[in-house]
A and B are shown apart, each in its own frame.
Chain A
């Protein structure tokens, strides 16, 4: 038996840690007023392609149903949520706040932090295009990272319209804009410099500069020295607002502007951001504004959101020895063949194993030691496995509920 490449099993302890992390993310979502929705694990491929464009659609696992319709396992959740909102929720009061925690599938070369099946948790704020919505989304991302146990995680932000405007301003053709954005996103300065040298137009020298500019307010000033043009004003105003609002909550040190941050997904139209911790070589969380996405499904409305890789968060936490603490699931009582007592204990909320063999006290104690169960119940007595103390079971049952140990 072998696992498919890029998949994994979750043993009970591992899954408990993952569930605990998901619970803390869900709690943040709830506190921000986001309600969880779910969509099918697979979609028609044309839906996925309409959302993600050709290149990323290619990364999906595809199959055909018996009628020959191409289906795809969902490679991310934003497109299915956009479809859902466009069809079922377009009459709902806007803005909508939806969240999800769900497995997604991508055909990628597996490596640390990149699995073919992984869990995404995220939020979508749909129906509001204001900077306030951008700010809410950024702040909820920071809160989620805090709740996950990574309060030092940092976020880099950009606005894709700024880069687009700069590249048009210096005179690049649409085809060249695509090439340059690909190089900029990978921060390939060697190829960018070669491109600029070959292009020769005055002003293209700003392009390699874009790839190296990173910081706070001051990089916006620097950009304006190169491209003083009203077309970048809108984007710059948004980034300024985000920096200012982060500063008002003393979180400005966690946010930096990075003009080379261009997320892979074609649907982003405005704000984009990614979160990372210094010790990992990949980002943990990413998101942005995608005002054109729902239009692909016939519902023209702005939207902004982010998603976090749950397994990536777990890797970051494990590296620090800070695995999320799961609720205690260990068994408290091992009960001899006595269904009534077992039931009475369970009704009080205790975690109870009923012995499957009709065996005596010594055998039960040995079994309890093997499994790390603190109490054995036999013949109306509750025996402490560690110290041998004996109490009538009525005494245990009579104690305040939830106090299973005493």
Chain B
């Protein structure tokens, strides 16, 4: 029984390909617009997906397992089993604000401040834990310009190098959590394809 593996397009794709290659599975290059790809060795079928769709495909069993950032798992809250931290794709989910606002220097956050984010659930959770009522503004991209143009007071976003923040004169106010790539599996497929899944788990982990 071969595995169907959900692989995220975007920043995690190249390292995912390398890890899979080390595990003996070849995710073909340069495939045009094909989104379903087969390992020439017959060991796996790959689904190339938007990162935020990976947990959905795995939860419903359309894919047996997948690679996805922890940030996506927090945001989608799908019931998938997180089998391993693959320790790549490191970034941090942070609260950031304009340098001029001085929140990073300990100035308290105002009640009902406007928070722009792609990570609505994580942002809501963070402020709810602090009993701070805020207005979350859901965005789909270019979140860092929102304080510059007056749409939001704060943003909650992923930061890898911090360069984008600096370019918009934003500074980190608080770190919510660090995120890395995770290997996830459908809970029933873990049982149904136990040998295949645990073999892949072991081979994905031995490379660090």
Contact = CB atoms under 8 A, between A and B. Distances in A.
Nearest to B59: A281
A304 to B, nearest CB: 22
Interface string A260-283: 000000000000000011111111
Interface string B175-208: 0000000100111111111100010010000000
A386 interface: no
Interface in B23-73: 59-62, 70
Contacts of B191: 154, 156, 214, 256, 258, 276
A277 B192 CA distance: 7
Size category of the binding interface on chain A: 20 to 34
Interface pairs A-B: 7 shortest CB-CB: A281-B61, A187-B81, A278-B192, A190-B82, A276-B188, A188-B82, A281-B186
A186 interface: yes
B49 to A, nearest CB: 16
B189 A281 contact: yes
A217 to B, nearest CB: 16
B79 interface: yes
A153 to B, nearest CB: 10
A212 B182 CA distance: 16
B79 A187 contact: no
B169 interface: no
Contacts of A247: none
B85 A190 contact: yes
A323 to B, nearest CB: 20
A151 to B, nearest CB: 15
B83 interface: yes
Nearest to B188: A276
Interface string B76-108: 000101111100000000000000000000000
Contact of B194 (A111, A189, A214, A279): A214
Contacts of B61: 279-282
Interface in A274-309: 276-283
A9 interface: no
A283 B83 contact: no
A278 B189 contact: yes
Interface of B: 1, 59-62, 70, 79, 81-85, 182, 185-194, 198, 201
A356 to B, nearest CB: 48
Contacts, number: 60
B194 A112 contact: no
A94 to B, nearest CB: 34
A205 B116 CA distance: 41
Nearest to A186: B81
A188 B60 contact: no
Q: Which among B1, B83, B187 has the highest number of chain A CB atoms within 10 Å?
A: B187
A341 to B, nearest CB: 55
A187 B190 contact: yes
Interface in A187-212: 187-191, 193, 212
A258 to B, nearest CB: 6
Contacts of A282: 61, 188
Nearest to A282: B188
Contacts of B185: 187
A278 to B, nearest CB: 4
Nearest to A212: B198
B187 A187 contact: yes
Q: Which among B1, B62, B188, B192 has the highest number of chain A CB atoms within 10 Å?
A: B188
A88 to B, nearest CB: 38
Contacts of B79: 186
A154 B182 contact: no
B188 A280 contact: yes
Nearest to B185: A187
Nearest to B60: A281
Contacts of A278: 1, 188-189, 192-193
A276 B187 CA distance: 11
Nearest to A113: B60
Contacts of B194: 214-215, 256
7 contacts: A111-B60, A187-B190, A188-B81, A214-B194, A256-B191, A280-B61, A282-B188
Given A187-B83, A190-B84, A193-B85, 13 more contacts: A111-B60, A186-B81, A187-B187, A189-B83, A190-B83, A256-B191, A278-B189, A278-B192, A278-B193, A280-B61, A281-B62, A281-B189, A283-B188
A281 B190 CA distance: 10
Contact of B192 (A154, A212, A215): A154
Contacts of B1: 278
B123 to A, nearest CB: 20
B75 to A, nearest CB: 15
A273 B79 CA distance: 19
Nearest to A261: B191
A5 B68 CA distance: 30
A215 B195 CA distance: 10
Nearest to B198: A212
A191 B187 CA distance: 16
Contacts of A276: 188, 191-192
Nearest to A276: B188
A189 B82 contact: yes
A318 to B, nearest CB: 15
Contacts of A279: 61
B132 to A, nearest CB: 25
